[in-house]
Amino acid sequence: MSPILAEVLVLTAVLALLWPTLGSYIADVYDGRAAWCSFIERPLYRLLGVRSDHEQGWRQYSTSLLIFSGASLLSAYAVMRLQGLLPLNPQGLPSVSPALAWNTAASFLTTADWQAYVGEQTMSYLSQMAALTTENFTGPAIALAVAAALARGFRRSGRSTVGNFWIDLVRGMLYLLLPASLIITVVLVSQGAVQTLGGPVTIHNGMTGFVQKLASGPAASMTAIEHLGDNGGGYFGANAAHPFANPSGLTNFVLILSTLAIPFAMTYAFGKMVGSVRQGAVLAVVMVLLFAASAAVTIVGETGANPAVAAAGVHQVGGNMVGKEARFGPAPSALYGAAATSSGLGASSSAYDSYTPLGAIGLLSGMVLGDVSPGGLGSGLFGLVVFAIVAVFLGGLMVGRTPSYMGKLIQGREIKLASVAILVMPLLAMVLTAVAVSLPGPRSAALNSGPQGFTEILYGFVSMAVDNGSSFAGLSANTAFYNVLGGVAMLLGRYVPIVAVLGIAGSLAGKARLPRDAGTIRTDTLTFAAILVSVVVVVGGLAFFGALALGPVAEALRHGRLLASNA
């Protein structure tokens, strides 16, 4: 058995074991049954002025969410802008420029964690902890709260409320994100990841006189929540390829597992919260099928020869090692990359710009489908449910049956809101890509020309608009154009779908539950899973077909011609 196959089988087995146990615990958290931290929880509610028995309608819920998000954005921006005057700055780094601070605050709030900077050369310890790591907790907690509100919308009947945002926010962080990230941090530190408030380490070579300064800092704690929360912003510029953040093959596996565990388990939690685990199982099957396809394409692309290297007449053994860490190799790097881009993580343990055209298609596939396989914490689940609503509506039109999902009638309001949630990302990504390639300055920011350069720009805006945050690594994005418009893309790509989903939750909560009859489409079967996969691919993927043809597909064809001419 090959090592990568063994790793995939172990990963699958662990995720299968965690699916019901972790999913059931998540449902208990948001239904209020988990109470082992109540001695901390109750004082927090008093501090926030929140009554634990008070619930909000979807408009109040959205307003609270947006107010909190705005405050988080401004506080993170302020810390970075005042960085040069604040403590915990042993490197003596200056304040972050306005455009970059705006982009970074927006990216970490939305869990995109797009980084147009080198972390250890730009951010002080205080900025890394108080601004960025803090948003690494609040960002996914917001999305988890929205997923819980949507589940309540399906479960309730004739109600005007969907929960309380402040309670959902606190419970998500207190009962799930904080304890889990603490465990992962301990594992990382035990394997050699760095966690210190001491300054950079200076090494003197007595024989050569060479002096080297190694960056350090509180990296392990940020790496833990970076992966657990599907955030992606790394402490170091090299991200998870840096040995101080991801020291070994074991930690690489742990980080992949922590990236996928909660998004997959959310399907079980959703099923339990709506009263039908079978419904959650169908969503899990769809996630597994889409992720398996993306991972397989990426791994096949990277375990084969690099066509550009082959065209130069160089014999390759062991796959495409260009841009890979020797301690990981092509296959584990490709698995990590597929997990990062198909979830909301967006981190990297290798250079994506050095992937083969087929590997690049695998990386892009998860994002262009809307990051629902399995997607980010909460966002992957509610994104897939939105596609399911569209699938039920289309199925009802085709076979003349009642378009209902989990007992709730799907009507024009839900379809309009679902359309907004689905289409805002491709609209943002493709319009901004078109603008960038049309202007000399933004176009010249791409390292390469031709299809590869187009892919670098397209990948960047898709990554930002879908709040993934991974980079093709060839784009010099620290410019006013990419920082300002990228920040706008991340905020709109995150919060427009969130408000639309909350609108759907509020609409469904007020509806009566329909009894199942002969005219109802069954949505708890493998047949519906196949329909949902088709809708995700057709509705989500075809929007990017033309753009993909101009980028990685054209690059693959060009390399094919080069290989043929050298044969």
Residue 111 in domain? no
| Residue-number span of the structural domain to which 532 is assigned | 379-555
165 neighbors 56 (Cβ within 8 angstroms): yes
Structure tokens given for 294: 């993306």
Query: 307 pLDDT band (50/70/90 cuts)?
Result: confident
Q: Are 61 and 162 in contact (CB under 8 A)?
A: yes
What is the rounded average pLDDT of the residues 433-439? 91
Mean pLDDT, rounded, for 453-466:
87
pLDDT at residue 167 is higher than 60? yes
Across the range 174-202, mean pLDDT stands at 94
Distance CA 65, CA 190 (A): 37
* Residue 103 in tokens: 């982009």
Distance CA 424, CA 429 (A): 9
Tokens 């890979």, residue located: 324
- 395 belongs to a structural domain: yes
pTM, 2 dp: 0.93
- Residue 446's φ and ψ, nearest 5 degrees, are -75, 135
Residue of 141, 335, 147 whose CA lies nearest to 257: 335
Q: Residue 324: inside a domain, yes or no?
A: no
Mean pLDDT over residues 317-345, rounded?
A: 86
Assigned domain for 303 exists:
no
- Tell me how far CA of residue 188 lies from CA of 337, 373, 477, in angstroms: 19, 26, 30
Q: Classify residue 233: in a domain, yes or no.
A: no
Q: 90 — phi, psi (to 5°)? A: -65, -20
Highest mean predicted confidence (pLDDT) among 40-44, 284-288, 430-434, 448-452: 284-288
**pLDDT at residue 504 above 60?**
yes
Q: How far apart are CA 13 and CA 22, in angstroms?
A: 14
Q: Is residue 458 part of a domain?
A: yes
The dihedral built from the CA positions of residue 14, 17, 20 and 25, taken in this order, carries a sign that is negative
Burial 470-487 (b: 16+ CB within 10 A, else e): bbbbbbebbbebbbbbbb
Work out the end-to-end distance of the chain between its first and last CA atoms, rounded to an integer number of angstroms: 33
3 state DSSP class of 408: strand
Residue 261 identity: A
Give the least confident one: 290-299, 357-366, 553-562: 553-562
Residue at 5 is within a domain: no
Does residue 444 lie within any of the structural domains? yes
The 3-state DSSP class for residue 245 equals coil
pLDDT (tens digit, 9 = 90+) per residue, 105-162? 999 999 998 888 998 999 999 999 999 999 999 999 999 999 999 999 999 999 999 9
Instruction: Give the least confident one: 24-28, 102-106, 333-337, 512-516.
Output: 512-516
Contact present, 29 and 158 (Cβ < 8 Å): no
Determine contact, residues 141/233, Cβ cutoff 8 Å: no
Question: Where is average pLDDT lowest: 114-128, 263-277, 532-546?
Answer: 532-546
Q: How far apart are CA 281 and CA 317, in angstroms?
A: 41
Residue 563: pLDDT band (50, 70, 90) is very low
In this predicted structure, the answer to whether residue 310 has a pLDDT above a threshold of 80 is: no
Q: Identify the CA nearest to 119 among candidates 74, 173, 83, 86.
A: 83
Please state the domain count of the chain: 1
Q: Which uninterrupted H or E stretch holds 211? A: strand 211-214
Residue of 521, 24, 536 whose CA lies nearest to 272: 24
Contact (Cβ atoms closer than 8 angstroms) between residue 501 and residue 150: yes
